[in-house]
Chain A
Amino acid sequence: MSERITLQVARYRPEKESEVHFESFELPCPKEWVVLDGLNHIKDNVDGTLSFRWSCRMGICGSCGMLVNGEPKLTCATFLAEYAPGPVRVEPLRNFPVIRDLVVEIGDFMQKLARVKPWIVRDAEKPLSDGEYRQTPDELENYKQFSMCINCMLCYSACPIYGLDPHFIGPAAIAIAQRYNLDSRDEGAAERMQILSEHDGIWGCTFVGECTKVCPKHVDPAGAIQRYKLQSAMEWVKAFVLPRAAQ
């Protein structure tokens, strides 16, 4: 195993540059170091102006998503030694505007996420005295996979459809909508269907499937979207064949 490794890091400093360029840094490469450790080493010892997002270092917060050798990855879960002897190219997430160095603008995703009502919608809340909304293990299992999403946006970075059409609501937002739809306590599926059956919703997806491949939490957003499409199509057929029953 190589003891040192070269990191080629994308730099963009808007106050003095109009284009992204790469800067090389040679680093130690202990086997326990992840790419994020390498970036922190640069920031602490070589160039304190290097900008990137991170927080938990354990694949929970979803902050440190970047492109590592062109692949969307959580840098806290990507070991440097796997890329030895390098060089390793670290870039900001694809399909997002870059604010500075490795930091991307995520406002678009946050707006889209809010549009799908990622919370439990109830027609009427029952009084507290009636106790909690209980769920069986099977009911939990129905949505658990989709509830693992950490909003890291790797799926948006991998999705060429989002790259080509930024209005597309995107994989994570749809998977999270499905998480609430499949929750036995939720009654907001019809409201979400109104939003997601629009042109920029589920039908924008052409099932490239890359979102599922890059998801660090095995959420399978592509599966969620296709299930949504199937459900939507079945409802349309039902409404067509049995118009009264659908009302």
Chain B
Amino acid sequence: MKQDTPYTPYHPRWHRTRVSTYWWLERRSYFLFILRELSSLAVAWFVVYILMLVSAVSGGDETYQRFLGWSRTPFALFLNVGSFVFVVLHAITWFNLAPQAMVVKVAGKRVPGFLIAASNYAGWVVVSLAIFSLLLIWW
């Protein structure tokens, strides 16, 4: 048997069902999974957007104002609002899945999954509030 043949070739009449190209539409959980995978593109876009912002700021006032102007266009607004929704989905699904990947023990006892997820959410809120208060101070 060849090494890359997954099944023994002795029976020529096995029936194999081909996986549909649209398999991800067959179940709600598969569809949500695909949305979660796609949300990484939104995360990547925000990284690019921040780099563009930093570049615009370093380019002086005129470049910065031009960048702000572009950010107000319907296309940029649509892109950023859509990306924001996907980034929130990304964060929530990530935090919800974290307890499955992390085994934390305190005094020999395994910490329940909901506490791990809750601590992630708490960390998210604390960091968001810290950034928000910094913005308020600098405004």
Q: Do the beta carbons of A227 and B29 come within 8 Å of each other?
A: no
Q: Do the beta carbons of B7 and A107 come within 8 Å of each other?
A: yes
Chain B contact residues: over half helix, strand or loop, or mixed?
A: loop
Task: Determine the chain A residues whose CB is within 8 A of the CB of B27 once the complex forms.
Answer: 210
| Residues 100-116 (chain B) with a chain A CB within 8 angstroms | 100-103, 108
Asked if B6 is at the interface of the complex by the 8 Å CB criterion, the answer is yes
Chain B residues bordering chain A, tally (CB within 8 A): 24
Task: Determine the chain A residues whose CB is within 8 A of the CB of B11 once the complex forms.
Answer: 99, 105
Complex formed: what's the CA distance from A167 to B2 in Å? 13
Identity of the chain A residue whose Cβ is nearest the Cβ of B113 in the assembled complex? A223
The count of A-to-B residue pairs whose CB atoms sit within 8 angstroms is 69
Task: Determine the chain A residues whose CB is within 8 A of the CB of B100 once the complex forms.
Answer: 209, 212, 220, 222-223, 226
Asked if B30 is at the interface of the complex by the 8 Å CB criterion, the answer is yes
**Chain B CB within 10 A, most for which of A15, A207, A222:** A207
Q: Do the beta carbons of B23 and A160 come within 8 Å of each other?
A: yes
Task: Determine the chain B residues whose CB is within 8 A of the CB of A15 once the complex forms.
Answer: 13
Complex formed: what's the CA distance from A80 to B56 in Å? 65
CB distance from B74 to the nearest CB of A (A): 34
Asked if A19 is at the interface of the complex by the 8 Å CB criterion, the answer is yes
Asked if A24 is at the interface of the complex by the 8 Å CB criterion, the answer is no
Q: Do the beta carbons of A207 and B97 come within 8 Å of each other?
A: yes
Q: Which of B's residues lie within 8 Å of A, judged by CB?
A: 4, 6-8, 11, 13-17, 19, 23-24, 27, 29-30, 33, 37, 97, 100-103, 108
Write 26 A-B pairs (CB below 8 A) sorted by A numbering.
A12-B15, A14-B13, A19-B15, A20-B15, A20-B17, A97-B7, A98-B14, A98-B16, A99-B14, A105-B14, A163-B19, A164-B19, A166-B6, A206-B33, A206-B37, A207-B97, A208-B29, A208-B30, A208-B33, A209-B33, A209-B97, A209-B100, A223-B101, A226-B100, A226-B101, A227-B102
